[in-house]
With several copies, the nearest count.
Chain A
């Protein structure tokens, strides 16, 4: 479905634009993230950034990402996140606003993206102007040699802020590197979990939430709960491996469910 769209997009591009896109793809390493790439793409529109067509820009970006995929160029995750977001933005911009929908409108999102691009461009220009200024040690100079007329000798000690922060970091890191002593009170071992599970799974015919296997008293305190969950999960995997248990999770972060795999089933 979106493929059809994509073909349309590609078809409407001029040869020149396609060549430009090709060059961009080859050069993908040279970009500092999606915003940088978007800014480069926006230049092909040759208009003031305030009047840029974000819809057009979204199309260009999505084409870029698809072409990169075609060419089997690995894109970093944030490029793909941006692609997903722009696809969403594109659909918002194309469809009439749904009064039921919550959240910002397509136009608001597009305006903010345009603002971000303009601001980034402005900062780049400012950086260039700054570096273009006369600089000390290159264009203008300080006194070559300070004068020492009378030496009243005294010693001062200096330290920079970096020294200070690094010093502190050093101590505190050292602290974190101290031999690690297990706090046994809050650790539930896998052996314990395995023992407990073995005695319980016989009773589990239907899918049951793994968390219900946590021992009493390990549910509330987050530290203890974390340890017990990890141990129970590891024990479950062990039992799956042994062919005693089935395990499933319907989607990311949803509950992990267990079922015994008895000979009878």
Chain B
């Protein structure tokens, strides 16, 4: 289709082999796809494009190769999925029934922990006081601890409000565990936002809800370590 041969190299036609006009020409896209396939299959954890680029020969375009690979595996027994800014191969969820042997019993999370996790995911970055305000009870010791330990949440930036409280956000392993490409893909996020349910509305006057009885709140009021 392309008669004067020199159509841009950058726009690689699918799988089209490269005309080698340089010693260090990147390998053809089919070859790049094979490489990505090998690396993603070999790793049980998601691999970033950056990491892929670091391993592949100079000049490769891992992003494009991943995209080809993803298409190739559509509808197959394993799939190429995106996790944050990384990629991984995972079995198709409808085949879970075959995997009785592989199932890992995870520690059962308490209702409080599940709700706290959901609040962090939907409201992130969110402070402890805000979680308490939403749930109407103080966050018990150990709940946050447990989520941190599972590496489903981590510390975000401190909130620039008095007391500069720490915030929590969810991690890539959280995304991986729940098969989410990004936190934007949380189910129902848009609807919740549109309904104003993710807003942090200050109560008119003082409401008794969400104010843990004892010292838990100091967080909000206490001058912080890195206060100037």
Contact = CB atoms under 8 A, between A and B. Distances in A.
Interface string A56-100: 000000000000000000000110011011000000000000000
A33 interface: yes
Contacts of B148: 161-162
B141 interface: no
A203 interface: no
A146 B215 CA distance: 47
Contact of A150 (B38, B100, B204, B208): B100
Contacts, number: 282
A146 B205 contact: no
A155 interface: yes
Contacts of B188: 125-126, 129
A95 to B, nearest CB: 16
B111 to A, nearest CB: 7
Interface in B87-110: 88-93, 96, 99-100, 102-109
Nearest to B210: A35
A198 to B, nearest CB: 29
B195 interface: yes
A78 B215 CA distance: 14
Interface residues of B, number: 73
Contacts of A161: 148, 154-155, 178-180
A173 B215 CA distance: 12
A222 to B, nearest CB: 12
19 contacts: A78-B208, A82-B209, A103-B205, A116-B207, A119-B134, A123-B122, A126-B121, A127-B114, A133-B180, A137-B106, A138-B104, A149-B42, A149-B96, A152-B103, A155-B104, A165-B197, A166-B197, A168-B121, A172-B212
Interface of B: 38, 41-45, 88-93, 96, 99-100, 102-109, 111-115, 117-119, 121-122, 134-137, 145-146, 148-150, 154-155, 176-180, 186-189, 192-193, 195, 197-210, 212-213, 215
